[in-house]
């Protein structure tokens, strides 16, 4: 074979392969577009109850799945039946022939739509979750099918288990059910933003109690795709009063743990968010196991609020009993369907003390009054109490409030008083103190500073650093630099006088032009820089009597 012929054959072969690939994916795409989705929303299909409950991704033993029947189904055939919850379907081309349907959706496999990968849904159990059906005066109830992908034209068939069928102990067969209603093409409706099919389905006269509703939704198409769902129901009737409790979900969810020191809160809320039930349980080392505290709290709720809510599992006699053997299967039931509940684990919180601030010093003239306010807040916003401690020499009012009023006395000379307050949140007390100086005007000038009492006395042997403050001769001084054995005085540059007092002329101090001092009963003003004594040097000008009487 020459080279040109070989290349031509290769091109033909390549084109053939590409065409097959394109054809294959075209079939897949076409099949995907035809494939439908949906499930019975009311009464809810078995698989959808399991999907809503969750817990099937981990752990592998299914212990996180709260419902026993769903857990059993998971252990039988895994997660496929849950992730394919909207695709319980089978293709029967001769779909008008029920025998052809039965050959695909075989006995014992009705609830899985004949799919072995979803066989967990076929298992009989008393724990499948039920929906109560209350037929109206015409014997009908409202049927809702969620159509994730609507398909029309189509038709519907509704089957009900025959009276006496042991639905709790045997897988469903075609001989166990009877056709009770059928519908033609139902138009799609929009409810809450979802595509749904709505229908009135008639229940046979006299039928009450537990049963399985088997729904077949059949498309009119070449593939014969049909959808098959099992819904576990309880039919109420005059001989069987309606079940008065409404299922609000599982009481304790997987992973809800508590430790000693925690507190468990169980609350039921009305439509306005008000708590109609509020029960608490303290957790200690003796009851921190989930099985123990959950049962203790449920008993507390069931005994105290039996007219509002109950915690437990509904049995075949419509009695709600708490299951201590399997905590996660217990549910919360309420009589008012509009009520909701919450179960919370509250961690202990350390009560923080109040934050308190009080100025270090206040002044008031003798005989006058003053208000002193402490600033206080509590991290937990707990109301605070106040208790002021005021010396007996002073008269105080409002000593139990944040602001105390103090009436000053009339001492012979300016006097400092220690005032303190205790702020409490009921558990923690915080104290703060301040100094109240009662100022006495002597008619002369202040030559001492009451604040000196708040500073350490100067010591000759002590070393002082820049910025250190001391008291000396009832005045406050601040070190300008490092020093030791250097006595504070106005003439000593090592120290700076902080007290605002009138000392009179001091030997050794340099005065600048304009400075005024008292000396020997007269007031003097410096004409220029000088260290000379007033009255003995012309640099000082006599400007009148001494201001401070010295």
Are residues 104 and 54 part of one domain? yes
Please give the pLDDT value at position 442: 60
Q: What residues in the chain have per-residue pLDDT under 50?
A: 1-35, 239
For the chain, the first-to-last Cα distance in angstroms comes to: 137
Q: Is residue 82 part of a domain?
A: yes
Q: Is residue 135 part of a domain?
A: yes
Are residues 45 and 184 part of one domain? yes
Helix (H, G, I), strand (E, B) or coil at 155: strand
CA dihedral 289, 290, 291, 295 (to 10 degrees): 110
Are residues 228 and 210 part of one domain? yes
For 353-356, the CB contacts below 8 A with 24+ separation are 353/425, 353/428, 353/429, 353/430, 354/378, 354/384, 354/423, 354/424, 354/425, 354/428, 354/430, 355/379, 355/430, 356/421, 356/423, 356/430, 356/431, 356/432
Are residues 500 and 416 part of one domain? no
Q: Is residue 3 part of a domain?
A: no
Q: Which helix (H) or strand (E) holds 15?
A: helix 3-34
Are residues 225 and 129 part of one domain? yes
Are residues 192 and 145 part of one domain? yes
Q: Write the CATH number for 154.
A: 2.70.50.50
Q: How crowded is residue 212: how many other Cβ atoms within 10 Å of its Cβ?
A: 23
Q: Which of 373, 372, 308 has its CA nearest to residue 336?
A: 308
Are residues 189 and 78 part of one domain? yes
Please give the pLDDT value at position 225: 94
Name every residue whose Cβ is closer than 8 Å to that of residue 120 and which is 6 or more positions away in sequence.
72, 73, 74, 75, 76, 77, 78, 81, 112
> Which tokens belong to 4?
């040109």
Q: Is residue 1 part of a domain?
A: no
What are the pLDDT digits (tens) for 130-167?
A: 999 999 888 999 999 999 887 789 999 999 999 999 99
> Which tokens belong to 239?
């001989």
Q: Is residue 510 part of a domain?
A: yes
In the chain, the number of structural domains is 4
The domain boundary residue, chosen from 285, 317, 346:
346
Are residues 541 and 490 part of one domain? yes
Does residue 120 contact residue 46 with C-beta atoms inside 8 Å?
A: no
Name every residue whose Cβ is closer than 8 Å to that of residue 193 and which is 6 or more positions away in sequence.
none
Q: In 315-461, where do the E strands start and end?
A: 320-321, 331-334, 340-346, 355-357, 361-365, 369-373, 375-377, 385-389, 395-397, 403-407, 415-424, 429-439
Q: Write the CATH number for 267.
A: 3.30.70.2150
Does residue 458 contact residue 465 with C-beta atoms inside 8 Å?
A: no
3-state helix, strand, coil in the chain (%, to 5): 20, 35, 45
Are residues 182 and 123 part of one domain? yes
Q: Is residue 99 part of a domain?
A: yes
Q: Write the CATH number for 513.
A: 2.10.10.20
Pairing of strands 361-365, 429-439: parallel
Are residues 315 and 210 part of one domain? no
Q: Which of 286, 276, 281 has its CA nearest to residue 264?
A: 281
The domain boundary residue, chosen from 308, 327, 346:
346
Range of the domain at 399: 355-439
Name every residue whose Cβ is closer than 8 Å to that of residue 536 and which is 6 or more positions away in sequence.
none
Q: Which of 145, 146, 143, 144 has its CA nearest to residue 135?
A: 143
The domain boundary residue, chosen from 212, 235, 258:
235
> Which tokens belong to 234?
């309880």
Are residues 141 and 109 part of one domain? yes
**Cα–Cα distance, 129 to 212 (Å, whole number):** 11
- How much is the pTM? 0.50
> Which tokens belong to 417?
């008083």
Are residues 309 and 202 part of one domain? no
> Which tokens belong to 156?
């519907």
> Which tokens belong to 240?
């069987």
**Cα–Cα distance, 2 to 7 (Å, whole number):** 9
Does residue 185 contact residue 155 with C-beta atoms inside 8 Å?
A: yes
Q: Is residue 11 part of a domain?
A: no
């Amino acid at each position: 074979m020459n080279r040109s012929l070989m290349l031509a054959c290769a091109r033909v072969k390549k084109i053939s392969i590409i065409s097959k690939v394109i054809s294959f994916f075209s079939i897949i795409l076409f099949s995907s577009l035809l494939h439908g989705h949906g499930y019975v929303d009311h009464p809810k299909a078995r698989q959808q109850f399991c999907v809503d409950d969750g817990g099937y991704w981990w752990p592998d033993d299914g212990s996180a799945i709260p419902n026993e029947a769903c857990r059993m189904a998971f252990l039988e055939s895994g997660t496929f039946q849950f992730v394919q919850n909207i695709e319980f379907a089978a293709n029967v081309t001769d779909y008008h022939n029920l025998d052809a349907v039965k050959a695909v959706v075989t006995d014992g496999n009705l609830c899985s739509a004949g799919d072995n990968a979803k066989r967990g849904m076929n298992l009989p159990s008393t724990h499948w979750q039920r929906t109560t059906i209350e037929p109206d005066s015409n014997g009908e109830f409202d049927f809702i099918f969620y159509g994730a992908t609507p398909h029309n034209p189509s038709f519907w068939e509704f089957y009900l288990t025959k009276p006496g069928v042991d639905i709790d102990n045997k897988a469903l067969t075609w001989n166990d059910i009877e056709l009770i209603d059928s519908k033609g093409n139902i138009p799609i409706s929009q409810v809450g933003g979802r595509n749904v099919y709505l229908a009135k389905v008639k229940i046979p006269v006299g039928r009450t109690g537990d049963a399985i509703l088997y729904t077949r939704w059949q498309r009119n198409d070449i593939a014969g795709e049909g959808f098959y769902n099992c819904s576990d129901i309880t039919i109420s009737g005059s001989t069987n009063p309606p079940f008065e409790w409404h299922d609000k979900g599982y009481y304790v969810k997987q992973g809800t743990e508590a430790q000693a020191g925690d507190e468990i809160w169980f609350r039921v809320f009305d439509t306005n968010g008000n708590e109609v039930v509020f029960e608490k349980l303290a957790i200690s080392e003796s009851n921190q196991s989930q099985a123990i505290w959950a049962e203790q709290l449920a008993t507390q709720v069931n005994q105290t609020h039996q007219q509002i809510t109950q915690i437990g599992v509904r049995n075949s006699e419509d009695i709600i009993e708490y299951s201590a053997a399997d905590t996660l299967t217990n549910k919360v039931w309420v009589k008012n369907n509009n009520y909701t509940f919450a179960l919370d684990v509250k961690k202990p919180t350390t009560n923080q003390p109040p934050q308190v601030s009080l100025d270090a010093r206040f002044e008031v003239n003798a005989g006058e009054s003053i208000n002193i306010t402490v600033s206080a807040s509590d991290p937990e916003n707990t109301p605070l109490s106040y208790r002021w401690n005021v010396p007996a020499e002073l008269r105080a009012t409002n000593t139990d409030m944040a602001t105390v009023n103090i009436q000053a006395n009339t001492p012979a000379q300016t006097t400092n008083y220690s005032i303190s307050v205790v702020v409490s949140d009921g558990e923690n007390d915080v104290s703060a103190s301040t100094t109240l100086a009662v100022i006495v005007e002597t008619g002369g000038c202040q030559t001492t500073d009451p604040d000196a009492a708040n500073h350490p006395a100067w010591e000759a042997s002590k070393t002082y650093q820049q910025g250190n403050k001391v008291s000396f001769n009832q005045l406050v001084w601040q070190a300008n630099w490092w020093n030791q054995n250097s006595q504070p005085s106005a003439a000593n540059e090592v120290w700076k006088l902080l007290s605002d007092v009138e000392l009179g002329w001091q030997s050794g101090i340099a005065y600048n032009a304009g400075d005024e001092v008292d000396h020997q009963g007269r007031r003097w003003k410096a004409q220029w820089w000088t260290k000379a004594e007033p009255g003995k040097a012309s640099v000082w000008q006599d400007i009148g009597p001494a201001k401070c009487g010295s």
